[in-house]
């Protein structure tokens, strides 16, 4: 009888061989080592390039790179081939020497972020925010059900999970105040989102139709769009979010390939009006189901504060990509687009403190005290899982961050 190895996982492990998310790591034991692609299996990271070399795979060079970008750029056929190979490798004893315990590695931002776009695709979130910010108007703007609203964000401040978030300073002005004041944000918030990572680029001037979504998007990751509500509320009219969101956006170190999430695909909710043809996903013969059944949990200092359901998002990632490119804007490898805050119909499903506390008027009661917005030292963590094959769960890599004080 042979000794068990880290590859001998308990049945149904959410990071079993059906999952295999990608990241980039360096081992603690070798701090000068170059960054290389890792694949998570159980509570270990497989050095994918080293495994490829030992098994004589042609993908050794692609997987020994310091970022995922070359793999992302290689296209869907290669993504499938590499995933098929990895699925076989994690049953091979030859790769065991190339496994590193998760707590013995540093996980890095896994890809070079090209452009970053953030959407606003939950009807429940948009309705709540509309009621809070515009109590005298319609909750949804007239365009909301006709197009996926978004804005271009700041790719250079996308950071990997575990990076501290410095409380931003800026201008704020309450409606009753005579003039704006400057200082550290007093309404620092989270937004629980899902980020989609583009692999295959597109040509300038050529839209990407709904049906081509899977040819371009490699995978997804949990994303926290940190938001300073006081800065945002004063600055956002008429051009939308700016400094209230550009100071930091955290992503998980693990990118889950869409190929691991086929069992999680669902039809989006029924829409109550017809969409223009480039966004119309109602013909299942022409378009794959665009929704994903991802169950997110938001914890604040270890206490669960919300469980937002991604399956109920009004706009799908495929529609967002089609809209993002319908004017001919091109895609680049490493483009990242966020879903927008994920909120469900129930209070316990709201993906931001803005909604959970109704702009601070209904504090959360946590075991360690009341909370409206984030305080210095607070730690926020997003986790999630999705239904996988044969009733097994697909775990998504967590994204966490701690708030540190604004510089004095």
Catalytic residues: 125
Site size for Ca ion (CB under 5 A): 3
Question: Does the footprint of Ca ion cover residue 355 (CB under 5 A)?
Answer: no
| Residue 355, token pair as written in the block | 């909604």
Query: Which residue's CB is nearer to Ca ion, number 118 or number 230?
Result: 118
Query: Which residue's CB is nearer to Ca ion, number 16 or number 351?
Result: 351
Query: Which residue's CB is nearer to Ca ion, number 151 or number 278?
Result: 151
| Residue 75, token pair as written in the block | 């296209």
Task: In whole angstroms, give the CA distance from residue 305 to residue 352.
Answer: 9
- Nearest partner of 398 among 297, 301, 320, judged by Cα: 297
Exposure on the CB side of residue 44, measured as CA atoms within 13 A: 18
CB of 154 to Ca ion, least distance (A): 12
Query: Which residue's CB is nearer to Ca ion, number 123 or number 225?
Result: 225
Which residues, other chains included, contact 70 with Cβ-Cβ below 8 Å and sequence gap of 6+? Answer: 62
Neighbours of 155 (CB within 10 A): 17
Which residues, other chains included, contact 281 with Cβ-Cβ below 8 Å and sequence gap of 6+? Answer: 210, 268, 275, 287, 290, 316, 318, 319
Task: In whole angstroms, give the CA distance from residue 223 to residue 351.
Answer: 11
Which listed residue (47, 115, 191, 281) binds Ca ion by CB under 5 A? 191
Neighbours of 77 (CB within 10 A): 9
- Window of 151-159, 184-192, 346-354, 399-407 that interacts with Ca ion by CB under 5 A: 184-192
Which listed residue (225, 281, 307, 355) binds Ca ion by CB under 5 A? 225
- Window of 113-121, 214-222, 355-363, 370-378 that interacts with Ca ion by CB under 5 A: 113-121
Query: Which residue's CB is nearer to Ca ion, number 102 or number 139?
Result: 139
CB of 120 to Ca ion, least distance (A): 7
- Window of 22-30, 56-64, 167-175, 223-231 that interacts with Ca ion by CB under 5 A: 223-231
CB of 214 to Ca ion, least distance (A): 24
- Window of 69-77, 217-225, 260-268, 315-323 that interacts with Ca ion by CB under 5 A: 217-225
Helical (H) or strand (E) element with 231: helix 229-235
CB of 377 to Ca ion, least distance (A): 23
Which listed residue (47, 118, 235, 335) binds Ca ion by CB under 5 A? 118
Residues facing 183 on adjacent strands: 170
Neighbours of 135 (CB within 10 A): 8
CB of 167 to Ca ion, least distance (A): 18
CB of 14 to Ca ion, least distance (A): 26
- Nearest partner of 326 among 101, 174, 165, 146, judged by Cα: 146
Task: In whole angstroms, give the CA distance from residue 350 to residue 228.
Answer: 17
- Window of 54-62, 87-95, 177-185, 188-196 that interacts with Ca ion by CB under 5 A: 188-196
Q: Which residues bind Ca ion (CB under 5 A)?
A: 118, 191, 225
């Amino acid at each position: 009888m042979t000794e068990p190895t880290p590859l001998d996982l308990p049945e149904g492990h959410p990071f079993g061989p059906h999952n295999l998310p990608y990241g980039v790591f360096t081992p603690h034991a070798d701090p000068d080592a170059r960054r290389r692609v890792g694949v998570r299996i159980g509570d270990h990271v497989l050095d994918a390039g080293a495994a490829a070399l030992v098994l004589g795979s042609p993908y050794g060079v692609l997987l020994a790179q310091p970022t995922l970008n070359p793999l992302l750029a290689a296209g869907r056929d290669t993504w499938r081939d590499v995933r098929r190979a990895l699925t076989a490798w994690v049953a091979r004893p030859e790769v065991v020497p190339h496994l590193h315990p998760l707590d013995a590695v540093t996980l890095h931002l896994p890809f070079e972020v090209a452009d970053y776009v953030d959407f606003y695709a939950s009807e429940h979130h948009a309705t709540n925010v509309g009621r809070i910010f515009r109590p005298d108007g319609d909750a949804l703007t007239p365009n909301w059900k006709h197009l996926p609203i978004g804005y271009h964000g700041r790719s250079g401040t996308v950071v990997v999970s575990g990076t501290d978030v410095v409380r931003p300073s800026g201008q704020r002005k309450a409606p009753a105040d005579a003039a704006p004041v400057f200082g550290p944000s007093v309404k620092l918030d989270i937004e629980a989102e899902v980020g989609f990572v583009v692999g295959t680029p597109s040509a300038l001037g050529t839209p990407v139709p709904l049906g081509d979504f899977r040819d371009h998007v490699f995978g997804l990751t949990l994303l926290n769009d940190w938001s300073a509500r006081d800065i945002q509320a004063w600055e956002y009219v008429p051009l939308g979010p700016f400094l209230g969101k550009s100071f930091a956006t955290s992503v998980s170190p693990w990118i889950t390939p869409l190929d691991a999430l086929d069992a999680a695909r669902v039809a989006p909710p029924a829409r109550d009006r017809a969409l223009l043809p480039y966004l119309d996903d109602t013909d299942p013969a022409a378009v794959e189901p665009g929704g994903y059944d991802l169950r997110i949990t938001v914890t604040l200092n270890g206490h669960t504060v919300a469980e937002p359901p991604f399956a109920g998002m009004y706009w799908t990632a495929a529609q967002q990509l089609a809209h993002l490119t319908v004017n001919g804007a091109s895609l680049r490898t490493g483009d990242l687009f966020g879903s927008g805050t994920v909120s469900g119909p129930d209070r316990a499903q709201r993906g931001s403190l803005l909604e959970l506390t109704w702009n601070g008027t209904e504090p959360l009661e946590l075991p360690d005290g009341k909370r409206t917005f984030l305080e210095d030292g607070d730690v926020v963590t997003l986790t999630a899982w999705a239904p996988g094959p044969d009733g097994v769960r697909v775990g998504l890599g967590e994204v966490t961050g701690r708030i540190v004080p604004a510089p004095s």
